[in-house]
Structure 1
């Protein structure tokens, strides 16, 4: 039994099970081979560019050396005396740290002793040293004075294969197992010392540096979109604050001419560095847009971003950029592969698949990119490109699988069965076998009120015209709510919700469908009016319960249908309706977890049912459907001159044979109050004849007793269920005449 269920599930999801493992394995293989790295890094760059600008970090001041500053100097590199003068001016403003991003390994006289004196008397000056050799540059020593005083930091920056800088260094491994702090970390530590924050290992991982609120995970070779990247020394992903505009900036000329506020640099980190094109200290970064030319960022700005990142993490708790472990990344890719395959698979029988599927794939892709971007804003770098390829690849694989399977069977059976029944045959390996299984369904029966009597007055061609448009309109509504039309029974429709495909909201959709069908009758009647055909009214009954659903019949001739007492009960409930009414059983009311607008309630005991049951009139359904029936019974007017009638009580489709007299004392187009000495019961069906009118003896009005009067036991309210055109004109004339008399 268990194996049979497993085989059934495997068959039902065979396309997904075929596509997901193969596509996921292919994408992960491409990822591990590094073929997706460049695309992923470009995606990360776009995330930086899409992110809203962060506030200016007022803790950092950049003294830039631009082309105009170079032209103003008597020589370049600027003399030691000029540099000493600049540093003295900065010292007077009492910053917490001064970062000199200018190589000063040799004297540039005159004034060398003055510069040495400034270096020796300023413990918060940090110089730079280039440690690594690259293809186009060599290592550069630091100032001997600053090196001797341990006031230097490495300004090396790891460069990715595409020439962009996305990573920074906290510590650099030197020869002989020595470690040198980076230029940015050295400056940040001087600032944080005044805040009482010093270096310590993280409690969760002693290999990670912790400063205040910030923990700095070490970059690994395969983090994020990287594959086998050089992860030497202590690297972190740079969480850029932005371009140079995100920092307080002054030019060297402004500083030398003393054109800055007196406290601009107090308690700040001051970085001095070149931004001039001619000095070639410019780099590609995530802000170098593919479409915006060759925008580059000065090295001093990159160091400012790193300092800002360290300070913001330590003091403000700003998130670092972290990545998933490999296992979670693979699971993430697998989940999007499942999403793409499932999206295509569950919509494979939708008639609008060619239109809706690309739209849904685009929306799902947007969800992927959007969720990854939101995660990036929260400090997580989740690979987008592999996930997108898994999503699109599995969708394409499933689409191809669907296109190559079941085409012939669909063409054969699609002419005779509904789409869902054909789908059930294809999805279930035992779908063609005779027999069925028990399942809970919601059953809807609809019927046109008085159509048999009306059709006697019409030609066969007119009857066919009416039925074709009516059934066509109702079919569109039923399909919209995913109902299965089991049978057209003349002017009646038998609809199943829950077979062959079960959905959790079957009863809710059935009720909403019924209300929508009643609302669609306005469209049907407007069409009938245009071609001078009668107005139609429909009643709908709904019941929910367990039935046997399957292929019922013989090996030569069978029909997919449902069998059981609940089918009969649904049919019986429909017989109690009047035109424009939707009645549901108590079973359906309890099964539908949605807000319903209930009108009247009554207790009935249909033929073949042992105990009385409650049925309810649905006037509207709320929630996501928000459908409500209009009250179009019209306003009843009291007649000064009652209308005499003769009526018989119908038993089933037959009259009882005994004629009784009565009189209509109040009247509207669809409802009337009738007084009669004969005792009538609620839901009695009546066949009336208006006396003393122009109606022929063959024209009758059909009505149903809706309620008894609380004041007069001989008075009942009746609802007309079928009225011939001449009778409609007479009733409207009586009502309008009475309204005119009352006015």
Structure 2
């Protein structure tokens, strides 16, 4: 018997070793936070998959829309308008009124009437912002409502991806504990149904309303890892996306355009829905595979919390619950075990694996089953993580497949030496693939670089700089792959791309130009992501050149790379250096190769450093033919300054000043650049300069650098140049903006 057991253990050794090992590693990575964002994304999709729920008829939102703001022509709205609004709402006899508007200061006229209304409306609940809740300074409530305790907290906990998935029931600050707006309104409504809060039987620290027990959120619940769980938090069971609740506008109420019983015996929430007021938040319904994420107003988030509480207490609608950690560990171990068994069963006795459609289909079926289990559980109110078990299953399959498949040493060496799949495939299919050396070939080279990124990176933490680069490089790499370019290397924030190596195609130059335009167009999405993350806007310049170079394996027997060398690589870099942010410059050779389908917006002669003959560089505006892509026109209005701004500037050589400082003045200004008057000769399209403003009679330099590129001379014979700003320090950007708008308004 012992002999048979030993035999079974040996036969299944791969599963017995791999499954718990991979499961343990997955659990460790899970609690290190590596799967948190992916699990949040999967969780968000669970909200979007079920059919849309009906709106909660117990809640009505009075929204302050953009149309209302245009009509009222005032923000904040005057106290007399707010008094009139609240009186009209009171006439309909709602159960409770939640005022999701900060109102700590009078907004005359009509403040005394508003104070009188506060005192005569016991079911009106105002908001305050607690210090340390969702961040930011505290905002006090109306003092007339704070004294009788008609105040609630407006703080909302944000996840690190800036989304709302949970909410406070209570929040504490020092010795003060205060209910959130959503909970306070729910309390008032439930009291009319004979339901009052009490300690839960299962745990005296838990809140119970009716039969619903509100289990407080813990730091590692669901897909969360070491999240700040202070206060009494609850995972929100959202009703739906923005617009789910019944919303009427302020003007509809003020002008009696709503039914007379619309708000009777209901909860009324008053808050902003206007885009310009910026009380908008990302929720699970903001996740979208296509399109720009749509945000939900803060007043609707409060409505979702109120609805979550009421529905749980009155309708048995499930609250979002999570597994204990030990059960999640078993779930991950199960996934790891299934992956190990599927892979181990398909082995050959000699240890060589082969592809099995049946086994592969089985693996995909199991993955689908995990997501189905997660979806069905979610419908019952359970958040079961799906990413860790799927990754554990995949990890076990990979480990065992790697163990079974004896990959040749030469192939492993090849994969460690080359960057792209296309390069690797080309090398492996050629008997000469591993030899050092190369061949002469005509290719098209694309080089891109960010404008002013060095100055930006100096002001930001290294982690933030890396995040910005990853967003940028990821988006650019997607476009390059789409147009079948080969990324030769990333050089900091620069990218070197080859078209025609290792695989030569007839339309290499045409694809390179189309790829460059697509990359510039993709920068809008990159900057939208940066804006959502609070990161600065970035701009990119691109240079393209076509010529004969040497491509092949460069290096030694121990370490090599597939690369390109030749003067045309250097010329591409020189062409790129002439570009501004958003521009694409191409050489005469590329223009001839692509032909008349190109839209050329201009050209200029240049004498690149290191080259004896001058060349003509062409500014690309678009491409016709099958790609049909155009760059947007960039308008820049220069406004003459009433008083010239004295400046001092220096010319940059590489990343550093050449040592000479010159005086000049800005005579015109725009959002993107300026007209500089200088007695010194500057080189258009070549010189990059660093400018400092001089203020006061003693011309003291203003703190903060302005970086720019000399674009052109305004008029031959004078000393005025048009400078395009490539980077402006935040401390001086506001000053320039103020000066610009003051001078615009003067015309």
Structure 1 length-normalised TM? 0.53
Counterpart in the other structure of 2:477: none
Please give the alpha-carbon distance, in whole angstroms, between the structure 1 residues aligned to 2:96 and 2:221: 32
For structure 1, list consecutive stretches of 5 or more residues without a partner in the other structure.
406-743
Match of 2:371 among 342, 359, 369: 369
Please give the alpha-carbon distance, in whole angstroms, between the structure 1 residues aligned to 2:388 and 2:278: 36
- The structure with the larger Rg is 1
How far apart are residue 345 of structure 1 and its match? Answer: 2.4
Counterpart in the other structure of 1:548: none
Counterpart in the other structure of 1:293: 292
> Residue 239 in 1 paired to residue 241 in 2?
no
Please give the alpha-carbon distance, in whole angstroms, between the structure 2 residues aligned to 1:292 and 1:45: 16
1:58 aligned counterpart, secondary structure: coil
Please give the alpha-carbon distance, in whole angstroms, between the structure 1 residues aligned to 2:110 and 2:52: 43
Counterpart in the other structure of 2:362: 360
Map 1:313-712; keep pairs closer than 5 Å.
313-348=312-347, 353-404=355-406
1:57 aligned counterpart, secondary structure: coil
Match of 1:198 among 193, 196, 199: 196
Give the CA RMSD over aligned residues.
Answer: 1.8
Counterpart in the other structure of 2:54: 55
Please give the alpha-carbon distance, in whole angstroms, between the structure 2 residues aligned to 1:84 and 1:325: 50
Please give the alpha-carbon distance, in whole angstroms, between the structure 2 residues aligned to 1:289 and 1:34: 20
How far apart are residue 133 of structure 1 and its match? Answer: 4.5
> Residue 14 in 1 paired to residue 16 in 2?
no
CA shift in 2, pair 1:134/1:201, >3 Å: closer
Q: CA contact under 8 A between 2:131 and 2:173: conserved in structure 1? A: no
Q: Deviations over 1:602-625 (max 9, x none)?
A: xxxxxxxxxxxxxxxxxxxxxxxx
How far apart are residue 134 of structure 1 and its match? Answer: 7.4
Please give the alpha-carbon distance, in whole angstroms, between the structure 2 residues aligned to 1:347 and 1:89: 73
Please give the alpha-carbon distance, in whole angstroms, between the structure 1 residues aligned to 2:291 and 2:377: 26
Q: Deviations over 1:434-465 (max 9, x none)?
A: xxxxxxxxxxxxxxxxxxxxxxxxxxxxxxxx
Counterpart in the other structure of 1:80: 79
Q: CA contact under 8 A between 2:133 and 2:156: conserved in structure 1? A: no
Counterpart in the other structure of 1:110: 109
Q: CA contact under 8 A between 1:100 and 1:125: conserved in structure 2? A: yes
How far apart are residue 366 of structure 1 and its match? Answer: 0.4
Q: Deviations over 1:80-138 (max 9, x none)?
A: 11101100000010110100000111111111111111111111100011103479732
Q: Which moved more, 1:201-210 or 1:134-143?
A: 134-143
Counterpart in the other structure of 2:41: 42
Please give the alpha-carbon distance, in whole angstroms, between the structure 1 residues aligned to 2:370 and 2:103: 49
Q: CA contact under 8 A between 1:56 and 1:245: conserved in structure 2? A: no
Q: Which moved more, 1:245-254 or 1:307-316?
A: 245-254
Please give the alpha-carbon distance, in whole angstroms, between the structure 1 residues aligned to 2:40 and 2:114: 43
Q: CA contact under 8 A between 2:242 and 2:295: conserved in structure 1? A: no
Please give the alpha-carbon distance, in whole angstroms, between the structure 2 residues aligned to 1:391 and 1:297: 36
Please give the alpha-carbon distance, in whole angstroms, between the structure 2 residues aligned to 1:4 and 1:213: 57
Please give the alpha-carbon distance, in whole angstroms, between the structure 2 residues aligned to 1:321 and 1:202: 17
Structure 2 length-normalised TM? 0.53
Counterpart in the other structure of 2:208: 210
How far apart are residue 74 of structure 1 and its match? Answer: 4.6
How far apart are residue 15 of structure 1 and its match? Answer: 1.6
How far apart are residue 359 of structure 1 and its match? Answer: 1.4
1:302 aligned counterpart, secondary structure: helix
Count of matched residue pairs: 403
CA shift in 2, pair 1:144/1:305, >3 Å: same
Q: CA contact under 8 A between 1:243 and 1:301: conserved in structure 2? A: no
Q: Deviations over 1:583-611 (max 9, x none)?
A: xxxxxxxxxxxxxxxxxxxxxxxxxxxxx
Q: Deviations over 1:686-726 (max 9, x none)?
A: xxxxxxxxxxxxxxxxxxxxxxxxxxxxxxxxxxxxxxxxx
2:109 aligned counterpart, secondary structure: coil
How far apart are residue 158 of structure 1 and its match? Answer: 0.1
2:359 aligned counterpart, secondary structure: helix
1:245 aligned counterpart, secondary structure: coil
Q: CA contact under 8 A between 1:219 and 1:237: conserved in structure 2? A: yes
